[in-house]
Chain A
Amino acid sequence: MFEFDSGGGGESGPYISWHSNGRKDGEAEAKTFSMKDGDERSDITSKFEKGVVLDIDKMKTGWALFGLNGTEWQWNQSVARFAPKPGDDWKKGVSIPVAVGKDTSGVWIQSGAGTFLAVSELAQQLKDRDGSKLPMVKMTGTSDIDFKGGGSTTYANLEVAKWVERPECLDTTDDADAFELADEAEDDDEF
């Protein structure tokens, strides 16, 4: 697994990541979610298991290019359309603001198969949206998948538990900050 960590440097986040395999630096176990705020990374898998709220109105999909100076993103105009791949090394990814607690939010901004599969399977449940409410989503397990061309990954099974009013901590999320300041990106696996 390719890992990249800018070291934080005091930039704002926090940034949520899915780890299909554990981090080599031991900061995260396999099949867990973590949230990095500055230099501090914490395991938030239990929060996903209890339920987190996803801001699907600000959800983006696109292509990410991992580089030594950070990750470059090209976002789609909407999640209903996907632009052609800009080049060989680009990988599909998503950005979603997530409320992990009453007053705590982060941005799940990540490329790679494990992330994209989890979100695309979840997306099938979003057709049942209740008005403008947001989904409270629970992680119910994980699934393994082997790819025809070789390689495999593990992704989180996310289920909509209920639809809730927008939490206050998501009202202030500025999606411009979310991806301009995302100088750390973790590529969870090959795709």
Chain B
Amino acid sequence: MTDQNGFEMHKIKHSSASSINSWSANPGVFIMDKLLKKRRPASAAMWRGITVEDAVAAVLTGAAVEDAVATALAKFDKEIQFADEKTERERAAIEPMVELALEELKIYGEPEFSVDGSQQKVEINCAGDGWKLPIIGYLDLVFPKEGLVVDLKTTMRMPAKMSADHIRQRCIYQRCVGNSQVKFLYVTPKKSGWLEDGDVDENLEQIKAILNRQERFLRISDDPEYLASIVPIDPSHFYWSDCIEQRQKIFGV
């Protein structure tokens, strides 16, 4: 019998919004990614998001829009080496999303990044039932003079309200940054919109409850393969859409 908690047993040194959300929605993905160290392939949508964020940050810090968009498209093309009509739709969304994001953000001036130019890292400690774990995050755009932190979300459909996943992420960041306001800017190829849903205290309590359950599950066994064999799997979840074979190979489902 070990004295270690579930996180320590699996050498998990921190959590994050994406990790908490992955565990909450689809624990099999968490196990595949964090315990078995088999990452899902990055999708065209992920690369769309990454390249748009990079382009927006570049323009806000002085680059020409045309150059930033060209760099974004080149990076997307380098990563997506085998295309279909879905990847082409994502590619076509990059330029309009960059332009719409810039329309909303340019009034705030130049954002601040870490000394090395990377996103600012934030951290908050969570103490649960017999365990403590830092939750870390990286802020997309920080405008200290405006007292504003912006997380840029690219999406093909504008949400009317924030998803539970995004609310958790916003509340973690809000607790980390204190007095600054944390808002999410959503951009589609055709429109943009701001959202800042969720009560911070309420959601942090929910996050603690999620992590408590996760810790108890992880404590069942120090063998990731065994945990993979008992975790419930939902094959219809969109998380699996780009790695069906991987899921079948690992989980037999």
The reply on A12 being an interface residue by CB < 8 A is: no
Within the assembled complex, what's the spacing in Å between the Cα atoms of A80 and B79?
9
Count B-side interface residues using an 8 Å CB cutoff.
14
Q: What's the least CB distance linking A119 to chain B, in Å?
A: 8
Within the assembled complex, what's the spacing in Å between the Cα atoms of A47 and B129?
55
Which of B81-89, B109-117, B201-209, B218-226 is near enough to bind chain A? B81-89
Within the assembled complex, what's the spacing in Å between the Cα atoms of A126 and B79?
12
Contact with B77, one of A80, A84, A119, A143 (Cβ below 8 angstroms) = A80
The reply on A92 being an interface residue by CB < 8 A is: yes
A81 touches B81 (CB 8 A): no
Which residues in B have their C-beta under 8 angstroms from that of A116? Answer: 84
Q: What's the least CB distance linking B18 to chain A, in Å?
A: 21
Interface string of B52-87 (1 = CB under 8 A from A): 000000000000000000000000010011111101
Which residues in A have their C-beta under 8 angstroms from that of B83? Answer: 61, 76, 79-82
B81 touches A157 (CB 8 A): no
B41 touches A124 (CB 8 A): yes
Within the assembled complex, what's the spacing in Å between the Cα atoms of A82 and B84?
5
B81 touches A123 (CB 8 A): yes
Seen from chain A, the residues whose Cβ lies within 8 Å of a Cβ on chain B are: 61, 76, 79-82, 84-85, 92, 116, 119-121, 123-124, 126-127, 140-141, 143, 145, 157
Taking A79-B82, A119-B82 as known contacts, 18 extra A-B pairs with beta carbons closer than 8 A to each other, sorted by chain A number, are: A61-B83, A76-B83, A80-B81, A80-B82, A80-B83, A81-B88, A82-B83, A82-B85, A82-B87, A92-B85, A116-B84, A121-B244, A123-B81, A126-B81, A127-B81, A140-B249, A141-B248, A143-B244
Q: List 11 A-B contacts (CB under 8 A).
A: A61-B83, A61-B84, A80-B77, A81-B77, A82-B87, A121-B244, A121-B245, A140-B249, A143-B244, A143-B245, A157-B248
* Chain A to chain B: the 8 pairs with minimum beta-carbon distance, closest first: A123-B82, A82-B83, A124-B41, A157-B245, A82-B88, A82-B84, A143-B244, A81-B83
